[in-house]
Amino acid sequence: MQTKINTEDEDRIQFLGLTIHRNKHNMTINIYRKPTETDTTIHYLSNHPSEQKMAAYRYHINRLNTLPINEEGKEKEWDNIGRMAMNNGFPRDSIKKLRKILEQKKSIGTNDRKQEKEKWTPFAYFSPLVRKVTNIFRDTDIEIAYRSTNTIFKQLAKKTDRPDNPSGIYSIRCITCNKEYVGQSGRDIQWRYSPTGLWPTERPPPVSEASANFCG
């Protein structure tokens, strides 16, 4: 890896994603994109929450709306955002709608916005059907954060064979008093309980819900 010092060339210099142009009486800025930029974002058809898929475009549009760029520079950057969206499968209307929403939020101002929610809870995003559950919290003080299961780590990680007795909900019956206990375990059932259905063979806990319900 090599570092390169940017120097002023023809009254222009690139700095932190911007092109700064020094005129005779003032300075103007425009958004700078490297020649090697690939315009790659999360694809529109990827199994990710819409909030994550639109995050890159939300950033680019917010930057477009907040920086003091002239009209010509704004039109050029808007064309770049549209090209990026098209290359990643996004409908142009969805990006236009996002820009309209962000401009409306900017015009409202921070004083009239709703108070931000302070409590967050994560949900694993398997499909859009998870929103049938998360919509329950829409009118509460809880904000939802989606955790994607389709990550590079999980795609590249070495896959292991599933055990014969995976974790989950189980039911065991005491051989002495014939009482039945239903519980949930994050460990493999064969490791948590011995084949007789009593205590774990590895390292039994001193107290559990099962022991409270069984005769002892």
Q: Which two tokens stand for residue 105?
A: 């939020």
Residue 68 pLDDT more than 70?
yes
* CB 142, CB 134: distance < 8 Å: no
Q: What is the mean pLDDT of residues 59-68?
A: 89
Q: Percentage of the chain with pLDDT > 90?
A: 17
- For 94-152, the pLDDT digits (tens) are 999 999 998 888 777 654 445 555 788 888 888 888 888 888 888 888 888 888 877 77
- Give the CA angle between residues 87, 33, 52 to the nearest 5°: 50
Per-residue CA distances from 73 to 29, 38, 65, 76, 183 (Å)? 9, 20, 11, 5, 62
**What integer pLDDT is reported at residue 183 of this predicted model?**
74
Strand residues in 82-174 grouped as ranges (E): 119-125, 142-148, 168-173
Residue 173 pLDDT more than 90?
no
The model's pTM: 0.60
Per-residue CA distances from 157 to 89, 154, 162 (Å)? 27, 5, 14
Residue 216 pLDDT more than 60?
no
201 — pLDDT class (breaks 50, 70, 90): very low
